[in-house]
Amino acid sequence: MAVFLGFSCLLTIKSSAQIGTPPTIAVQPLGVAVQNGGTALITTTAVSLTSMRFYWMFNNQSVPTSNTTVVNVNVPLVGTVSTLTINNVSPASAGGYSVRIVNGVGSTTSSNATLVVLASTVSNVVNFVSTGIGMTTGGFKLQLSGPAGSNYVIQASTDLKNWIPISTNAAPTGTVSFTDTAATNLAFRYYRAVIQ
């Protein structure tokens, strides 16, 4: 006697566009105080399984493009670092800056980073020159500009609380370049410079 068994199967395929999660902000943008006429840098780091787009906002509106640039750098094992550069800041530049990050699944919006514009003249100000900043294969490179004949003490931190001096550089012309070779082994690092 022969026995026949019948099977039926219903196969459901989920669209790959819906797999994953919206972007996650690993490092929120931080506020900054900048001299009137100076350059402000506001940075965030985000992570996503798919490609992302960054939309920077000023007081909940798109940032003006006349004096701003955005650079996005994909850092392996860290995420995508997006830096908003605001050139020639003025009192009109002061306010809240945030970023909306979008991928194929959804979006997320950062907290506000407040830009404060200092109106009075401050002597011995050190500026980070935006054309010389970035991660390279040899480490994190930055360029400083300030008063000629000064010494710059470059300090580093991983938590913005504890600062360690990592280099002292003489700047006879006022400009100095520095590369932090130890940065290639770190997930992230913050920098500041002090005139000595």
- Low-confidence winner among 9-13, 20-24, 84-88, 166-170 (lowest mean pLDDT): 9-13
- String of DSSP letters for 39-97: -EEEEEEEE-SS--EEEEEETTEEPPSSSEEEEEEEETTTEEEEEEEE-S--GGG-EEE
Give residue-wise pLDDT tens across range 119-158.
654 455 555 554 456 677 778 887 777 777 777 788 888 7
Task: Give the Å distances, CA to CA, from 133 to 58, 71, 165.
Answer: 23, 11, 19
Domains parsed from the chain with CATH numbers: 21-122 (2.60.40.10), 123-196 (2.20.130)
What b/e readout covers 114-127, taking b as 16+ CB neighbours within 10 angstroms? Answer: ebebbeeeeeeebb
pLDDT of residue 8: 47
The set of residues, in sequence order, having a beta carbon less than 8 Å from that of 93 and lying 6+ positions away, is 40, 67, 86, 115, 117
Residue pointed to by tokens 């701003």? 68
